Amino acid sequence: MNKSALSPLDEPRMSEEMGRVGLTRARLAARLASPEFSIFALAAAAFGLFALLTQGFDSPFNLFSLARSAAVNILIGLAMMSVIVSGGLDLSVGAIGVCASMASGAAMQLLGWPVAPAVIVALLVGAALGFLNGQIIARSGLHSFVVTLGTMSLFFGGMIILTRGQPFDSLPDAFSDPMRWRIGRWLSPMLPLTFVVAAALAYLYRLTDLGRGMLAVGANSQAALLSGISVRRMITLSHALAGLLAALAATLLAMRNGAAITSMAGDLGQDWLLPGFLAPILGGTALEGGRVAVWGTVFAALLVTIINSGLLLLHVGDFWVQFFLGVLLLSAVLIDHLRKHLLAKRRPSA
* Residue 47 binds another protein, judged by CB under 8 A: no
* Residue 315 binds another protein, judged by CB under 8 A: yes
What residues between 105 and 134 interact with another protein by CB under 8 A?
none
User: CA-CA distance, 324 to 167, in Å (whole number)?
Assistant: 34
* Residue 327 binds another protein, judged by CB under 8 A: yes
* Residue 158 binds another protein, judged by CB under 8 A: yes
> Hey, which residues does 187 pair with through a beta bridge?
183
Using CB under 8 A, which of 37, 40, 47, 155 touches another protein? 155
Using CB under 8 A, which of 53, 110, 199, 207 touches another protein? 53
Nearer to another protein, 65 or 230 (CB): 65
* Residue 285 binds another protein, judged by CB under 8 A: no
Binding segment for another protein among 5-13, 123-131, 157-165, 202-210 (CB under 8 A)? 157-165
Per-residue three-class SS string for the chain? CCCCCCCCCHHHHHHHHCHHHCHHHHHHHHHHCCHHHHHHHHHHHHHHHHHHHCCCCCCHHHHHHHHHHHHHHHHHHHHHHHHHCCCCCCCCHHHHHHHHHHHHHHHHHCCCCCHHHHHHHHHHHHHHHHHHHHHHHHHHCCCHHHHHHHHHHHHHHHHHHHHCCCCECCCCHHHHHHHHCCECCCECCHHHHHHHHHHHHHHHHHHCHHHHHHHHHHHCHHHHHHCCCCHHHHHHHHHHHHHHHHHHHHHHHHHHHCCECCCCCCHHHHHHHHHHHHHHHHCCCCCCCCCCCHHHHHHHHHHHHHHHHHHHHCCCCHHHHHHHHHHHHHHHHHHHHHHHHHHHHHCCCC
What residues between 133 and 152 interact with another protein by CB under 8 A?
136, 140-143, 145-147, 149-152
Binding footprint of another protein, residue count (CB under 8 A):
93
What residues between 196 and 255 interact with another protein by CB under 8 A?
253
What residues between 69 and 88 interact with another protein by CB under 8 A?
69, 72
| Nearest approach, Cβ of residue 212 and another protein (Å) | 22
Nearer to another protein, 21 or 274 (CB): 274
* Residue 19 binds another protein, judged by CB under 8 A: no
Asked if 277 and 104 count as a contact pair (C-beta separation under 8 A), the reply is no
| Nearest approach, Cβ of residue 230 and another protein (Å) | 21
Binding segment for another protein among 61-69, 112-120, 192-200, 232-240 (CB under 8 A)? 61-69
Using CB under 8 A, which of 8, 114, 117, 165 touches another protein? 165
* Residue 153 binds another protein, judged by CB under 8 A: yes
* Residue 288 binds another protein, judged by CB under 8 A: yes
* Residue 342 binds another protein, judged by CB under 8 A: yes
Using CB under 8 A, which of 37, 47, 277, 295 touches another protein? 277
Q: How many CB atoms lie within 10 A of CB 333?
A: 13
User: CA-CA distance, 102 to 123, in Å (whole number)?
Assistant: 11
Nearer to another protein, 251 or 309 (CB): 309
List the Cα angle 178/80/126 in 5-degree steps: 55
* Residue 183 binds another protein, judged by CB under 8 A: no
* Residue 177 binds another protein, judged by CB under 8 A: no
Nearer to another protein, 181 or 323 (CB): 323
Using CB under 8 A, which of 5, 31, 113, 176 touches another protein? 176
